[in-house]
Amino acid sequence: MRISIIIPAHNEENHLSLCLDSFVGQTHQPDELIVVDDNSRDTTFQIAQTYAKKHPWISALQRKSENKHIPGKKVVDTFNFGLNHASDYDLIGKFDADIILPSHYFEEMHSRFQDNRKLGMCSGLLYIKKGEKWVFENIANKNHIRGPIKLYHKTCFEKIGGLRPGVGWDTVDVLLAQYHDFETLTDSSLQVKHLRPTGHGYSTKSSRAKGEALYRMRYGMLLTKIAALKMAWQMKRPGLFFRIITGHMKAAIQNQPHYVTPREGTFIRKLRWKGIFSKISQG
């Protein structure tokens, strides 16, 4: 199984070397690692070039785009830029530049996909540093494959139509994988260090974009309210709830295009309600 990994990177000079060291130190190295620098103003590209010169399976690319930050879309567009330069692969990954992988990460991933032909997506879990300890980054369920460590089987990736260019891309992909009858799996034994915790610099714009994403995933208003309440609670930011709802309403008024078809949307809503009722019955 050929493994190709793409890392979109923007101003990551503080983390990139640690990240790439963890790739180089793998017991089963990827066949290809593409670092795509997107308009960095620091030495990100130079760091990537240094590793590319030492390791033939690593390459460094530069992408020129607008300096304007567009939540979700920028990272997906940068990933797709790298994807256009990728060789043939069986497993394709979108990873962030601020992570440190355990040394046996891809050895385990390779085994997981080899052992289960229905497996469409797989990952470890993200941990952040609090004091002297690394603790689970508790902003999503442990069975959710997080955005910084996405690894897809090629068949699944093609079935879901690749990544959606906007906020929510790393949720809709999991839902669509399940829609197409693929299994998704997180390995709790693989603890990935996340050097920059999620949520830093949460802006009003990005919060509203989350509401737009829920609309585009065809959640409906009631499910959106439940999801918004959960996010606000996890982030300990009450105002986040109202900004998400505002974003959903704005998207509905503007009749923004959906990420999924009506049939896929029906599946997603049923799946979400099933999860909610399951938690209620357990609690």
> Which pLDDT value is given to residue 72?
82
Query: How far is 275 from 255, CA to CA, in rounded Å?
Result: 28
Question: pLDDT digits over 218-270, tens only?
Answer: 999 999 999 999 888 877 888 999 999 999 999 999 999 999 999 999 999 99
Specify the residue for token string 């979109």: 8
Query: How far is 88 from 234, CA to CA, in rounded Å?
Result: 39
Query: How far is 64 from 20, CA to CA, in rounded Å?
Result: 22
Q: Write out the two tokens for 242.
A: 């109202």
Q: What percent of the chain has pLDDT over 90?
A: 83
9-21 mean pLDDT? 97
122-138 mean pLDDT? 95
Question: pLDDT digits over 146-164, tens only?
Answer: 999 999 999 999 999 999 9
Helix (H) or strand (E) holding 246: helix 238-254
Beta pairing partners, 194: 99
- pLDDT bucket at 197, cuts 50 / 70 / 90: confident
Q: Which of 13-27, 68-82, 97-111 has the lowest mean pLDDT?
A: 68-82
